[in-house]
């Protein structure tokens, strides 16, 4: 493979951003900073554009190549909620291979058979087949004894458990969070405490077993407080969130906007403000798209009958850059949330600009303005709650192992 050099770049490194150059040889980052270029090198002058590690999107529900590439994503952590469920080694192995070389899929195997929350799946065999973590999927494991076994088994295998944090009893049948908006719309709603109850139990189990627990989405002030306190005690817990729960409150559901029907549901404004604070203080570890594309047959229905979920892969980067411009987080912190921490959680040798790392790179023009539109997104569906929102910043080049994808 020809050597490739990026010059005049704004490099996003671990803990800092600084101008410099980056050299790629044989699909790997060979040098960073002020470098001597080989004679046969192909040079790309970025003229001050951002050069960052390509995004690793943790917790994706559908393989959507076009949306991922448009959003600067080259690796995804695929949720077990597939057809069929990722609870069999053959299915896990096939999932891990179908996207290569253009998109590397890291399967999150089901923690229990068929995600039913009863019998443990064959974690060790699924790990050997390519699973990088185990998860509870869209649902919560109600039986504490089963969840404890999941955590113990995963701990022995060195795998993180990716859990949905919502008490199934309180949240059953609910499509919204209890509050003024749900009351005005007459929607079936669950109290926000359903999240804190689930988190509290799973944190205690993780602390007792020593297992690594990742709460895929934490969205309430009470939930963040529990995670913050557990981290202070030394519990091996991390948590994630999507841009929707950082930037939108339940007011976005007004007029029965089914594109704002999400799981977990949008929360009160006070919880949204708590999410911004948790981003700023480091409580939140991962910013993910929650990509769950749904067609009109599932979304253009009465709110309570529509399917929860949003198409988020294509908008993740731009919405994250908005958080940087609004000074909630720094640029290097954004890519810790988008790449460094997801890679660490999944045990992947990637996610950073450093010599020896795979050349998974995204070039970003942070000044490019565009408008999010359900009809113009390139992915499988455009069910975004951000329809019509003007944003700024796009991936203009994308590389996987030094090979250009965009």
Output DSSP code: residue 36: P
Residue 37's pLDDT band, with cuts at 50, 70 and 90, is: confident
- Using the predicted structure, report yes or no on whether residue 217 has a pLDDT greater than 90: yes
**How confident is the model over 293-299, as a mean pLDDT?**
94
Find, among 218, 176, 175, the residue nearest to 197 by Cα: 218
Question: Where would I find the beta strands (DSSP E) of 267-341?
Answer: 286-287
- What SS3 state is found at 11? strand
Neighbouring residues of 143: CB distance < 8 A, sequence distance ≥ 6: 117, 118
pLDDT at residue 1, rounded to an integer = 59
* Alpha-carbon span 32 to 54, nearest angstrom: 16
Angle 176-177-181 from CA coordinates, rounded to 5°: 80
Residue 114's closest CA among 85, 88, 148? 85
Is the previous residue joined to 130 through a cis bond, with omega within 30 degrees of 0? no
Domain residue extents for the chain: 53-347+374-390
Percent of the chain with pLDDT over 90: 97
**Which residues is 58 bridged to in the sheet?**
77
Cα-based distances in Å from 297 to 141, 301, 352: 29, 7, 40
How far apart, in whole angstroms, are the C-alpha atoms of residue 55 and residue 350?
10
C-beta neighbour count of 90 within 10 angstroms: 11
How far apart (Å, rounded) are the C-alpha atoms in residues 48 and 50? Answer: 7
Cβ-Cβ contacts under 8 Å for 168 (sequence gap 6 or more): 139, 140, 142
Segment 194-205 shows an average pLDDT of: 98
Give residue for tokens 């729960």.
245
- Residue matched to tokens 């996987």: 400
Across 38-42, 97-101, 167-171, least confident range = 38-42
| Tokens found for residue 56 | 């690793």
Tens digits of per-residue pLDDT, 235-259? 999 999 999 999 999 999 999 999 9
Strand 16-25 and strand 28-33: the pairing is antiparallel
Minimal CA–CA distance to 355: which of 29, 115, 38, 42? 29
Q: What is the DSSP letter of 137?
A: T
Q: Please, which residues have CB within 8 angstroms of residue 73's CB and are 6 or more apart in sequence? A: 54, 55, 56, 57, 103, 289, 313, 316
Condensed to tens digits (0 to 9), the pLDDT of residues 142-194 reads: 999 999 999 999 999 999 999 999 999 999 999 999 999 999 999 999 999 99
- Is pLDDT above 90 for 2? no
- Compute the distance between CA of residue 174 and CA of residue 252 in angstroms, rounded to an integer: 17
Give the model's confidence band at 34: pLDDT under 50 very low, under 70 low, under 90 confident, else very high: confident
Of the candidates 3, 104, 24, 74, the one whose C-alpha atom is nearest the C-alpha of residue 405 is 74
Provide CB contacts within 8 A for 305, sequence distance 6+: none
CATH of domain 53-347+374-390: 3.20.20.140
Q: How far apart are CA 166 and CA 201, in angstroms?
A: 11
**DSSP string across 324-364:** HHTTSS-HHHHHIIIIIHHHHHHT-S-SS-STTSB--EEEE
Q: Is the pLDDT of residue 393 over 70?
A: yes
pTM of the model: 0.97
pLDDT mean over 273-278: 98
């Amino acid at each position: 493979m020809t050597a490739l050099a990026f010059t005049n770049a704004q490099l996003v490194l671990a803990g800092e951003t600084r101008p410099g150059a980056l050299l790629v040889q044989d699909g790997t980052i060979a040098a960073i900073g002020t470098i001597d270029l080989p004679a046969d090198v192909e040079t790309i002058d970025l003229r001050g554009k951002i050069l960052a590690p390509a995004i690793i999107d943790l917790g994706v529900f559908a393989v959507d190549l076009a949306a991922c590439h448009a959003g600067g994503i080259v690796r995804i952590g695929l949720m077990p909620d597939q057809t069929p469920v990722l609870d069999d080694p053959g299915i896990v192995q096939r999932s891990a291979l179908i996207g290569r070389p253009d998109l590397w899929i890291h399967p999150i195997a089901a923690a229990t058979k068929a995600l039913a929350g009863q019998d443990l799946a064959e974690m060790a065999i699924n790990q050997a087949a390519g699973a990088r973590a185990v998860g509870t999927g869209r649902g919560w494991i109600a039986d504490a004894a089963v969840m404890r076994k999941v955590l113990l088994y995963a701990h022995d295998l060195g795998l993180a458990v990716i859990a949905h944090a919502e008490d199934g009893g309180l949240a059953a049948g609910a499509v919204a969070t209890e509050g003024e908006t749900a009351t005005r719309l007459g929607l079936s709603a669950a109290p926000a405490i359903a999240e804190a109850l689930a988190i509290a139990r799973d944190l205690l189990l993780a602390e007792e077993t020593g297992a690594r627990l990742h709460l895929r989405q934490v969205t309430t002030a009470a939930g963040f407080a529990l995670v913050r306190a557990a981290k202070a005690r030394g519990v091996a817990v991390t948590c994630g969130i999507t841009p929707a729960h950082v930037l939108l409150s339940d007011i976005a559901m007004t007029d029965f906007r089914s594109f704002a029907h999400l799981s977990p549901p949008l929360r009160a404004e006070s919880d949204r403000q708590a999410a911004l604070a948790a981003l700023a203080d480091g409580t939140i570890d991962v910013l993910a798209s929650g990509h769950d594309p749904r067609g009109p047959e599932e979304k253009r229905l009465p709110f309570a009958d529509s399917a929860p979920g949003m198409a988020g892969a294509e908008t993740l980067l731009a919405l994250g850059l908005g958080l940087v411009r609004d000074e909630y987080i720094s640029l290097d912190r954004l890519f810790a949330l988008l790449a460094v921490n997801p890679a660490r959680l999944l045990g992947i040798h990637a996610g950073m600009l450093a010599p020896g790392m795979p050349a998974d790179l995204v070039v970003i023009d942070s000044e490019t303005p565009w408008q999010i539109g359900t009809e113009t997104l390139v992915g499988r569906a455009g069910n975004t709650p951000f329809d019509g929102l003007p944003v700024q910043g796009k991936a203009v080049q994308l590389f996987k192992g030094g090979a250009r994808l965009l």
